[in-house]
Amino acid sequence: MPSDLYNLNSAYGSEEELKHCIEEMHSQDLLALGDVVLNHRCAHKQSPNGVWNIFGGKFSWGPEAIVCDDPNFQGRGNPSSGDIFHAAPNIDHSQEFVRKDIKEWLNWLRNYIGYDGWRLDFVRGFSGSYVKEYIEASNPAFAIGEYWDSLGYEHGDLCNNQDAHRQRIVNWINATGGTSSAFDVTTKGILHSALHNQYWRLIDPQGKPTGVMGWWPSRAITFLENHDTGSTQGHWPFPRDKLAQGYAYILTHPGTP
């Protein structure tokens, strides 16, 4: 839930401590990915009619930077190019000044803070074509999009065929011109059921793995858990008694675990 994008001081430490941490990672031949939230941004002030849509900090945007179809924040921009995130104002990436500011910020993160690449949050919210522009401008070593929506279910059970789900993720990768990879949410969801003695779920009619890794392995980032699904939020935790099997699967199959 970012507000002032240039303020990297937090409960975890100061901006200088963050830079030092990244320098230490680099000294051990590790790359550091910044978790960049570009879809939405929290406002600093209320408008005269009491709506939180006035931004502060270096990017002092107003309602013109918010999509007009966000139902909560009275944006005056163009309609959204994706899904609405309801907890904060949804940014209008069709605005040239917004894209210019974001590209400037990403390059600051790369060149001054030291990040090597990006984990792109809630990319369902805006077109992958904008991600392509941001990636080409900031030249990351690696980029991952979090395109997370629900798999197909029928009467509470996972549907046999999840091609529509992985197609949506592949469509997003395509929209970025293949410049970004994406989390293989399809594989995570299928593994939840497959490891409860439904191993037939792991092969599609073409003999390929059933997740994104079966269609575009070089752009599939496989995982079992993230900060939304497990951890303290626990929205969709991986079966605890199947973790070793899950890791064995993603470590021995295509994709980048």
Say whether 191 sits in a helix, a strand or coil. helix
Helices in the chain by DSSP H: which ranges?
15-27, 96-108, 128-138, 163-175, 185-194, 243-251
For the purposes of burial, counting CB atoms within 10 Å of the CB of 250, is it exposed (0-12), middle (13-18) or buried (19 or more)? buried
90, β-bridge pairs: 40
- DSSP H/E element including 52: strand 52-54
Alpha-carbon span 64 to 168, nearest angstrom: 29
Tell me how long the chain is.
257
Alpha-carbon span 148 to 144, nearest angstrom: 12
Q: Which residues are catalytic?
A: 121, 146
Alpha-carbon span 116 to 141, nearest angstrom: 6
